[in-house]
Amino acid sequence: MGAVIGREGAAIEPGPIAANPAQRRLAEGGTVLCMGVRQTRSVDIAQIAAACGFDALYLDLEHSPMGLETVSAICTAATGFGIAPLVRPPGHGADWIGRILDGGAQGLILPHVNNEAEARAIVAAARFPPLGRRSVMGPGPAVGYRSLKLGEINSGLNAATTIVCMIETEEGVAEADAIAAVAGVDVLLIGSNDLCTEMGIPGELRHPRLRAAYEAVAAACRAHRKVLGVGGIRGDAELQRDLLVLGARFLIAGNDVGYMMAAARADVATLRKIIGG
């Protein structure tokens, strides 16, 4: 198989383990832009997201009825288009985590991670020994079904898998330092909307208490050399800039439903003006 062309035109050389473009960008000190997918069921969404300039997409099983077969198909396609496929499962169950990763996902966005024990259990389920206790599948989508030594598969997938823990509760904020200290966790992602709802200030994205939470999680990330991520603020460019200054390097942008509806509304508004009502 020849080299895959990434979103910026650079060749991603094939290897035993598919390259993780988002992980590479973070390692180089860059910022990852990730698009959510809730409604689309076609593999074309991976190519569309790559063409739009995203580094990653995440398939949202927490807030959609999408099935694992669809998830695996899109994940497999995404690696061929040079965009990292991540998946948000509905919970932390090892059964979900293992099947999602076996299906070709290059990373997980885990919702509602509240403490160190939960973070350690996630890492154990998502990484092979000696880093965790993930069950061995052998050749699969992540290695292009090549026949490789098992040790090579396990170590390669451990290195290429990105684990993102979402901080969405006040407990999670209070425990952010302990969560960030867990080996194998790569990103702490603040879920702004769930967090402010838990705080009793739903929708108040500029509330001082939410700002203090951002700062606390950012400090934990700096202390343990982890990446700060933020979601739920795509409608406020000024706030996004503020959080980039604070250190955020993993940003959840919009999702397929929001983008489609925004474009459709704008088109209808234009056409209504043309036809006069």
Cα dihedral 161, 181, 223, 205 in deg (nearest 10): 80
Write phi, then psi, for 92 (nearest 5 degrees). -105, 5
- 238 located within any domain: yes
The C-alpha atoms of residue 112 and residue 129 are separated, in whole angstroms, by 25
Instruction: Kindly give the parts of the chain with pLDDT less than 50.
Output: 1-14
Cβ-based neighbours of 94, under 8 Å, separated by 6 or more: 121, 124, 125
pTM higher than 0.85 for the full model?
Answer: yes
| pLDDT at residue 16, rounded to an integer | 63
86: left (phi over 0), alpha (psi -120 to 50) or beta: beta
* Range of the structural domain that residue 35 is part of: 4-161+227-275
Write phi, then psi, for 268 (nearest 5 degrees). -65, -40
The C-alpha atoms of residue 5 and residue 203 are separated, in whole angstroms, by 40
The C-alpha atoms of residue 204 and residue 190 are separated, in whole angstroms, by 15
- 177 located within any domain: no
Number of domains in the chain: 1
- 186 located within any domain: no
The C-alpha atoms of residue 93 and residue 195 are separated, in whole angstroms, by 22
Supply the Cα-derived Rg of the chain in whole angstroms.
Answer: 19
- 147 located within any domain: yes
Quickly count: other Cβ atoms within 10 Å of residue 135's Cβ: 11
> What SS3 class is residue 80?
helix
- 27 located within any domain: yes
The C-alpha atoms of residue 207 and residue 269 are separated, in whole angstroms, by 33
Given the residues 63, 92, 112, 207, the one annotated as active site: 63
Here the tokens at position 181 are: 């200290």
- 74 located within any domain: yes
| pLDDT at residue 15, rounded to an integer | 53
What is the domain-level CATH number for residue 103? 3.20.20.60
| pLDDT at residue 277, rounded to an integer | 64
* Amino acid residing at 109: I
Residue 63 among the catalytic residues: yes
Here the tokens at position 255 are: 């999702």
- 246 located within any domain: yes
Residue 21, preceding peptide bond in cis (omega within 30° of 0): no
Nearest CA-CA partner of 78 in 38, 46, 40, 103: 46
